Structure 1
Amino acid sequence: MDLIAEIRRRHLVSGESITSIARSLKLSRPTVRKHLRTTSSPSYQRRHQPAPKLTEAFQQMLTAWLTAEQTLPKSQRRTAQRLFEGLQVEGYLGSYDCVRRFVKRWKAHNTRPSVTQAFVPLRFAPGEVCQFDWSQEQVDIDGTSQKVKVAHFRLAYSRQMFVVAYPRETQEMLFDAHNRAFAFFGGVPQRMIYDNLKSVVQTILTGKARQFNPRFMALANHYLFEPVACTPASGWEKGQVENQLGNIREWLFTPRPRFASLADLNDWLALRCRELAQRQHPTEDRPIAEVFAQEHNTLRAIAAPFEGYLEEMLRVSGTCLVRVDYNRYSVPAEFAGKAVSVRLTADRLRIVHDRQIIAEHPRQFGRNQLVCNPWHYLPVLEKKPGALRHGAPFIEWDLPAPIRHVKEHLLKQPKGDRAFVELLQLAREAGLEPLQVACELSLETGLVTGAIVMNELRRLLAPPQPSAIHLPESLRLRSEPLADCARYDVLRGGTHGLH
């Protein structure tokens, strides 16, 4: 209507020509003439497209499908596109738009109008409540697109948020997320509100009563917070963090973030949480960061982080390996065939025997991966030095270049594999650095044998000789003996005399 008023004013009041108005407004001259004759708002009528291909038989089929699926959960109902594909299987040759319009009309007449629920506005005291939830996001890690599980924390009073990403949504990840969140907040709130996660709730009882997971209760007892589980299908009981899930997906994961590693992603997420705290608080006339600074003083101080791990008993195989989550990890050879305890954390795997950690590896989340420490197999090489050539732990061993060159020289010599094993045995305690220096010295001479490298390595590992020996005065000789070579002549003469 504003455009019509402008055309009429420019032509009838200012006397501007129809051609000039059409050129400046990028309209056709017939359109300008039509608007000059208009004094009321234009009205439009929706034109309904016929559906010649959607015959009565297909309409009855669609109606039967929609009626049957109306009782199913929304996630299990077919969309108009899936219904269209189903009709195509039955011989339908019409367009998708016909099906979409029919589905829309049917739902408008057969779906009950949604009832808007009423809620009571909530208010929380500083340091009283923190809400928790998981979400699933898509990221690019080292050039590979993958799904990650994101743990969300939100302090209900200050609205301060914290998010951290993990490969999985397991209990050890939950423990690590709490350690990170409480370290980020600088303290622990009085209560934590959760969904009925399996890693949190073991049994749902009547009303609000819950039987919590014993391992999770160890976390709650360590940090001395009260766990609260929501009523099933009642997300509004922790509405702040539920709302945060969508906001975080829009602010931080759209477009898809790209990072070299998961650690880099989590560092960036923590930084963005601090930056987002500069936004205005929804109920107070100051930034979230200032309100959080006030709430921080009411949080309970952290004495020590919780040692959150899952533990299971496994038996070490004959190849000195334990199998965890479809991956294999090496154990020192002396524990082959023995039962060990495997402790899983979010990023590490520790193997324990008699309460002593005997091996530790970075945790892998793929499948069929072999994680070996070559030093674990050194006792086996003492008896089977030939395994040095084709043993998987030694083929993939990333040795320094001088040691690798010496190994190649020795393996071409008779019993060279045993000679290299002896070098490794000597370097086991001192490390690879002295062995690398010994190999460099041997390569400089141009003569590379096991004896020469061993001699250089022993010289490097030998303790330094003292420059001078300082003896106490009581041990000093008052008269030092003099060298007398004539004594040897006397002995020689005496010996001849006996003959």
Structure 2
Amino acid sequence: MKKKQTIIQKYIEGVSKRKIAKNIKVSRNTVDKYIREFEISKGKDVRDLPITEDIIKTPTYKKRTGRKRALTEEIKEILIGYIKDNAWKRNHYMHKQQMKMIDMHEKLVDAGYAIGYTTVRNFVNAEVAKTKEVFIRRYCEPGYEVEFDWGQVKLEINGGLKNYSLAVFTLAHSNYRFAKIYQSESQVCVLDVHSKFIEHIGFVPSVFTYDNMRTVVKSFVGTEKTITDSMINISNYYQFKIRLCEPRKGNEKGHVERSVEFIRRKAFSSEFSFSSLVEAEEQLLSTLQRINGRLHHKEKIKHTDLMEEEKKVAKQAVAIAPFDGADLVECHIDKYSSVVIKQNHYSVPEGHVGKRIKAKVGAEKVKLFIEGDLVAEHSRNWGLHQWEMNIYHYLNTFQKKKGAIAQSECLKQAPNQIKKLYNHYYIGKEKDFIELLFYIKEKNKLNHVMKAVEELKNIRFDYVSTERILFLCEQTTPSGVNSLEIDDTSKQSESNIKAYGLLFNQPEEEEGLAL
């Protein structure tokens, strides 16, 4: 037991002060002091004071605080100036150029001041602690709020390294994540990803939270912010409210800020090279399924299951058609039977050169309309001075200019099956090739045509011709009759060839050799 407590205990038992001092081997003055403090403490109520009862308080001694000789008022003013400069840089996107405490110390030493680093560090820490930000813990109501943000990801697509934009949504309650890759962060892409997200989760959260991105905030004057017309339109359509973060306060949407980095790392840190953007999107989708299938860190339930619970309590379910965020523009059809949209050419079916048509330009598709009818649809090209050509739009022209097909942009962009078909069997036979393209366009039987080509090629290479291909494609299995078994395929092929020989007057000897 400590000496002070022993003294108090002996005093309560009635032992004299002299005897207490002699037995414990302390001076009479110390015994008198402890007993006097004990008597005084019994008359004080310290329940609402930040002190303990003196009876259990160990003896303390006043610490000597000497005058800080190196840390003068002049040096304090200089250090406070450095701290203010750092605060200004943080508010002007220069946080990477802030001075560290070691830099402050070195600058003082270079200026001729004799001061140690520890003194500088202690003073700066004390000053910064006075202005440290206080954070408020959030409660996330189910189905109430979702956060949106953009991120950058660099991918190698078909051998080319390029920056792409990653649009990310995160539900605040369940931490369920949704993401999609775009080639731009334009307004039409923002509207498109909103529509796809709402369609994906099956309900509309009450509040959508954003930072002050240009596609959401049209103008920013003081504390007054004006929302863009497009975002007002989509919020009215789906009936959700928009909440904007304070400037440079990304922590106000901390769920999605963390999600952008997390999804990018999980999806593309180990694998970033793909043959097409579609393959990269498949990689992203599988990653999201894996992430959302994990247990929530707090609820210990899968993120997908929590999202379904949010869907049950959400105030608004999706019972309307997806929002169409495409831009409607009017275009002129040029001599190449194409229209120019955002410096890129898109082909139009021939016969309309010189007309003005309307185009709906979306994030992924460009749709062309003539007198209200949809006449063409192309994938959106986000490059510059590119051509999106459909070979079926120019078949009548190719009938008049057969020699143009070999070196045409249309053939270059045609499906690989069409290109191989021309290069292997139809060079110098453009008339027959165009006739086959007319058939594919009208009947939409490209797969049937390629199967017929394979069957003819297996018989004899030079048997591939438009007449034989069309003959095979038009053969149908009568209703009620089972299709041929795999073992009967060769026999049926042989009988077909004999029919071809009679049809096209082929010599019987050649048929025998071919078979």
Q: TM-score range by the shorter chain?
A: 0.5 to 0.7
Q: Deviations over 1:441-464 (max 9, x none)?
A: 79989999xxx9676688679999
Q: Which position in structure 2 is the counterpart of 1:106?
A: 107
Q: Which moved more, 1:155-164 or 1:235-244?
A: 235-244
Q: Deviations over 1:324-357 (max 9, x none)?
A: 3443221112122222222222322211222211
- For 1:314, what is the secondary structure of its paired residue? strand
Identity of aligned residues (%): 24
- For 1:198, what is the secondary structure of its paired residue? coil
Rounded Cα–Cα distance in structure 2 between residues aligned with 1:423 and 1:227 = 55
Q: Which position in structure 2 is the counterpart of 1:228?
A: 243
Q: Which moved more, 1:104-113 or 1:286-295?
A: 104-113
Q: Deviations over 1:398-437 (max 9, x none)?
A: 5265555553243xxxxxx566656655665235658775
Mark the runs of 5 or more structure 1 residues left unpaired by the alignment: 1-66, 81-99, 411-416, 467-499
- For 1:306, what is the secondary structure of its paired residue? coil
1:243 pairs, out of 239, 242, 258, with: 258
Q: Which moved more, 1:156-165 or 1:257-266?
A: 257-266
8 A Cα contact 1:193 1:238, kept in partner: yes
Count of aligned residue pairs for this structure pair: 373
Rounded Cα–Cα distance in structure 1 between residues aligned with 2:309 and 2:352 = 54
1:219 pairs, out of 230, 234, 238, with: 234
Q: Which position in structure 1 is the counterpart of 2:182?
A: 166
Q: Which position in structure 2 is the counterpart of 1:407?
A: 426
Give the aligned residue type for 2:404. A
After superposition, residues 310-321 of structure 1 pair within 5 angstroms as 310-321=327-338
Q: CA deviation at 1:192?
A: 0.8
After superposition, residues 130-145 of structure 1 pair within 5 angstroms as 130-145=146-161
Q: Which position in structure 1 is the counterpart of 2:28?
A: none
Rounded Cα–Cα distance in structure 2 between residues aligned with 1:178 and 1:145 = 27
1:430 pairs, out of 430, 436, 443, with: 443
Q: Which position in structure 2 is the counterpart of 1:151?
A: 167
Residue 328 (1) aligns with residue 345 (2): yes
8 A Cα contact 1:439 1:453, kept in partner: no
Q: Which position in structure 1 is the counterpart of 2:410?
A: 393
With over 3 angstroms needed to count, the CA separation of the structure-2 counterparts of 1:131 and 1:422, relative to structure 1, is closer
After superposition, residues 195-344 of structure 1 pair within 5 angstroms as 195-204=211-220, 207=223, 210-255=225-270, 257-277=272-292, 279=294, 281-284=296-299, 286-299=301-314, 300-303=316-319, 304-344=321-361
8 A Cα contact 1:320 1:330, kept in partner: yes
- For 2:405, what is the secondary structure of its paired residue? helix
Q: CA deviation at 1:376?
A: 1.1
Rounded Cα–Cα distance in structure 2 between residues aligned with 1:166 and 1:118 = 37
Q: Which position in structure 1 is the counterpart of 2:368?
A: 351
8 A Cα contact 1:402 1:440, kept in partner: no
Residue 361 (1) aligns with residue 378 (2): yes
Residue 375 (1) aligns with residue 376 (2): no
With over 3 angstroms needed to count, the CA separation of the structure-2 counterparts of 1:181 and 1:442, relative to structure 1, is closer
After superposition, residues 58-137 of structure 1 pair within 5 angstroms as 75=93, 105-106=106-107, 113=128, 115-137=131-153
Rounded Cα–Cα distance in structure 2 between residues aligned with 1:329 and 1:343 = 12
Mark the runs of 5 or more structure 2 residues left unpaired by the alignment: 1-83, 109-116, 479-515
Rounded Cα–Cα distance in structure 2 between residues aligned with 1:190 and 1:105 = 53
Instruction: Output the TM-score relative to the length of structure 2.
Output: 0.60
- For 2:351, what is the secondary structure of its paired residue? helix
8 A Cα contact 1:201 1:211, kept in partner: yes
Q: Deviations over 1:21-52 (max 9, x none)?
A: xxxxxxxxxxxxxxxxxxxxxxxxxxxxxxxx
With over 3 angstroms needed to count, the CA separation of the structure-2 counterparts of 1:205 and 1:378, relative to structure 1, is same
Rounded Cα–Cα distance in structure 1 between residues aligned with 2:213 and 2:353 = 38
Q: CA deviation at 1:145?
A: 2.9
Give the aligned residue type for 2:426. K
Rounded Cα–Cα distance in structure 2 between residues aligned with 1:220 and 1:430 = 43
Rounded Cα–Cα distance in structure 2 between residues aligned with 1:104 and 1:351 = 67
Q: Which moved more, 1:377-386 or 1:393-402?
A: 393-402
8 A Cα contact 2:172 2:255, kept in partner: yes
8 A Cα contact 1:159 1:288, kept in partner: yes
With over 3 angstroms needed to count, the CA separation of the structure-2 counterparts of 1:306 and 1:423, relative to structure 1, is same
Q: Which moved more, 1:431-440 or 1:299-308?
A: 431-440
Rounded Cα–Cα distance in structure 2 between residues aligned with 1:229 and 1:325 = 31
Q: Which position in structure 1 is the counterpart of 2:22?
A: none
- For 1:196, what is the secondary structure of its paired residue? coil
- For 1:270, what is the secondary structure of its paired residue? helix
Rounded Cα–Cα distance in structure 2 between residues aligned with 1:423 and 1:290 = 52
Rounded Cα–Cα distance in structure 1 between residues aligned with 2:187 and 2:383 = 18
With over 3 angstroms needed to count, the CA separation of the structure-2 counterparts of 1:324 and 1:125, relative to structure 1, is same
8 A Cα contact 1:403 1:435, kept in partner: no
- For 2:143, what is the secondary structure of its paired residue? coil
Rounded Cα–Cα distance in structure 1 between residues aligned with 2:461 and 2:254 = 74
8 A Cα contact 1:442 1:453, kept in partner: no
With over 3 angstroms needed to count, the CA separation of the structure-2 counterparts of 1:395 and 1:240, relative to structure 1, is closer
Rounded Cα–Cα distance in structure 2 between residues aligned with 1:367 and 1:151 = 23
With over 3 angstroms needed to count, the CA separation of the structure-2 counterparts of 1:447 and 1:191, relative to structure 1, is closer
Q: Which position in structure 1 is the counterpart of 2:194?
A: 178
- For 1:297, what is the secondary structure of its paired residue? helix
Give the aligned residue type for 1:106. K
Q: Which moved more, 1:298-307 or 1:258-267?
A: 258-267
With over 3 angstroms needed to count, the CA separation of the structure-2 counterparts of 1:375 and 1:239, relative to structure 1, is same
With over 3 angstroms needed to count, the CA separation of the structure-2 counterparts of 1:440 and 1:190, relative to structure 1, is same
8 A Cα contact 2:146 2:171, kept in partner: yes
- For 2:313, what is the secondary structure of its paired residue? coil
Q: Which moved more, 1:374-383 or 1:252-261?
A: 252-261
Q: CA deviation at 1:69?
A: 11
Give the aligned residue type for 2:318. I
CA RMSD of aligned residues (A): 4.3
